[in-house]
Amino acid sequence: MGEMNLPARSAFWLRAGSLLGISGALTLACVGDDPTVTAPSASADGGSDSATPLTDASASDTGVVDEPSTTGACPDPAPAAVPCGPTLVSIGNPALHLDACSLPMQNARIADWASPDGKITMKGAPGALLCQTSFNGRPAVHFDRDGFTLAAGNAVALDTSPEHYLAIVMQYAPGARARSAAGGVVFERTAASYPFFGPKLAANFAYQAQVGAPTSFEPTQLVGGAFRFGVKSRSVTESTFAAVADRTYPEPMLVVYRRLGARISLSINGVEVGFDDRPDGDMLSDGTGNPVSLGRGASENAYFLGKIAEVLFYKSTPQSTADLENELKARWGIK
């Protein structure tokens, strides 16, 4: 499929908010209006050609970062509330399930987010903003620089290779960011240093420059999933293995990022919009032994700007993906 089987899509931005499941311990702080999010800027968490983490800036990179103001408040006036439901029938047995509908019915910051069954809790620092009617009248978690982490010791429950299925109900606002800025991580399992493993789903996706070149990024305003974030060139072993959207999707959407051996694909609202296939794809690490991040990567600027309503991660493909995806779209009012 040529170099990417996709257009030059590799950096994308998420707007306000992300959803992460919470149950168990939950810390809340009352809030008021939603942050006014202007065009964000970012490029997916990247690595250098050395074994050290990538820094945020490069002397050769230029560009003004248009950052959002973060008021820490939910939208006002809010749209009419829409009841959550119905319960998913085709859910099967996800390794991780996060649902905004399982959270307390109030606008507040949450420091922890647990799965509805209470078996897994994502820890926030300090967390993100829960808003009750911001996703087609339904609740969602808004991300504005902060996120959640599942420690490596607890993330073993997500260990999988060479197959996984990740479904996220989300919304982001495509924006422009400095070429040297890190990307907006929606979901990531990686190490703090290069090479970055995966899986990784990000907004305003970006590729690293060629090996030996100054640290730089080739940004887009698109959503993309990757398994190794490195150079774009296929002639180099460390090249990125990525599936990226074919256009921006500013509206609420269901994103499915799937790996089947040597093939990864990205679907939005039930339609495949990007894929990548390579002979050595099934040999790439799945991130086993590393923590999981939601809404923010390891790099200081690798934060997601947007909102998430539900997250489902499976260690193998669910039995009926079409039924599950239709149920998710209906549950969240996605066309």
Residue 241 contacts residue 260 (beta carbons within 8 Å): no
Report the topology of domain 28-331: Jelly Rolls (2.60.120)
Predicted TM-score (pTM) of this structure:
0.79
Q: For 59-171, where are the alpha helices, taking DSSP H only?
A: 152-155
Match 């679907």 to its residue by tokens. Answer: 267
Q: pLDDT tens digits for the chain (335 residues)? A: 333 333 333 322 222 333 223 233 333 332 222 232 222 222 333 333 222 233 233 333 333 344 444 456 888 777 789 999 899 999 999 999 999 999 999 899 999 999 999 999 999 967 899 999 999 999 999 998 889 999 999 999 999 878 999 999 999 988 877 766 667 899 998 765 555 677 889 988 877 766 666 666 777 889 999 887 777 776 776 778 899 999 999 999 999 999 999 999 999 999 999 999 988 888 887 788 889 999 988 777 788 999 999 999 999 999 999 999 999 999 999 98
CB atoms within 10 A of CB 90: 15
CB atoms within 10 A of CB 13: 32
Helix (H, G, I), strand (E, B) or coil at 144: strand
DSSP 55: P
